[in-house]
Amino acid sequence: MTSRTPATATGARGSAFAGASGGDPSGIRDEPTRPQDATANGLGSGSVPVTGITVTRHLAAAERHASLTADVRAGLTANPRELPPKWFYDATGSLLFDRITRLPEYYPTRREHAVLAANAARIATACPATTLIELGSGTSEKTRLLLDALRNAGVLRRFVPFDVDEETLLRAGQEILRSYPGTSVHAVVGDFERHLAFLPGSASGDSGSAGGVAADRRLVAFLGGTIGNLRPETRGTFLRALRDQFHDGDALLLGTDLVKDPARLVAAYDDSAGVTAAFNRNVLSVINRELDADFDLRGFAHVAAWDPENSWIEMRLRSVREQEVSVRALGLVTRFGADEQMRTEISAKFTLEGIRAELAAAGLGTSAQWTDPDGDFALTLAVPA
């Protein structure tokens, strides 16, 4: 799982990248071909009003629906079947993941929080950033430790949460505005596998003027172990794309879950209360609602398994019987055999040396690494090499 510091908290099961609800909750029109800056005036009917947040959209509702359609068609017709974890995260999925982070078996959130709490001041000293960008941001709970450290250092001017779920971003942004007076919030709605070139302050993004911040130094936080949801080749592409957007003085703070006893790893993704099982099956609810499918959630069992060859956990859904599923929006009928499994997520685990090697291959040098006392979770600060 990514930590969406619950796309979308939204840290890894993170945002793995994506997101939730259709429509435009802020009342600002989406522009599919042209990103748009605007100030959000509200979240829609029954939602908490939001003011003072700049929103840039790179992912319109129509584009998101097209992406879901393509992913589901490809995944259900593949052999073996597979669905991307980004589609876990509608409003229900985000709430379920927030519950997961509080379960006794799910150690990553607690361990990462401990590492941040112990080292946030050191991070702010090493990278006194005026802008904190959080990839895969939603509730941004752990990020407050970084915001506090940067504010205490007297440098914080802007917070940029970046995720696919606009409503979650706006709610989180409102909380940040209330808690950090004088700090501007620039929410970016996008998929960080596709829209990294548009980070505020990057060569292809804005010049830094949004929110009144010019020529700023940026700290990009990618927390929760979300990077583990990417396959190695995709991780490399992602890190190189991020490196290409960095200026001198910018830095990446990367959270990664470390290799450990497989029994602990499996337990973290297969809790005794069944919350992770409900979270896993929620992807079927998303497809049912958005693509007019008829998945029977009771017909699929949650599976979590350790893959030692690839050093990752796999989450899967196992068909408990032979069954036929129609996805009417796609004109697709697919048949599952009894005990057939469909992968819904990978979550890679790392070593400290492996992290440094992957960063180096992308042109990023390791400035510092920190772990919790038990060596369960790591934070790595990386800068352009």
Binding positions for S-adenosyl-L-methionine: 136, 142, 163, 191-192
Distance CA 187, CA 138 (A): 10
Per the rule left: phi > 0, alpha: psi between -120 and 50, beta: everything else, 311 is: left
Distance CA 366, CA 114 (A): 21
Is residue 218 within 8 A of residue 260, CB to CB? The reply is: no
Binding-site annotation: residue ranges for L-histidine: 106, 229, 269, 345-347
Give the number of residues written for the chain: 385
Distance CA 313, CA 347 (A): 5
Largest CA distance in the chain: 61
Is residue 34 within 8 A of residue 379, CB to CB? The reply is: no
Distance CA 88, CA 351 (A): 27
Cα atoms in the Cβ-side hemisphere of radius 13 Å centred on 137: 28
Binding-site annotation: residue ranges: 106, 136, 142, 163, 191-192, 229, 269, 345-347
| CB proximity list for 139: less than 8 A, separation 6 or greater | 5, 6, 9, 10, 98, 168, 171, 172, 175
Residue 231 Cα distances to 114, 117, 194, 236, 238, angstroms:
27, 29, 15, 9, 10
Sheet holding 300-307, edge to edge: 300-307, 312-319, 341-348
DSSP 274: S
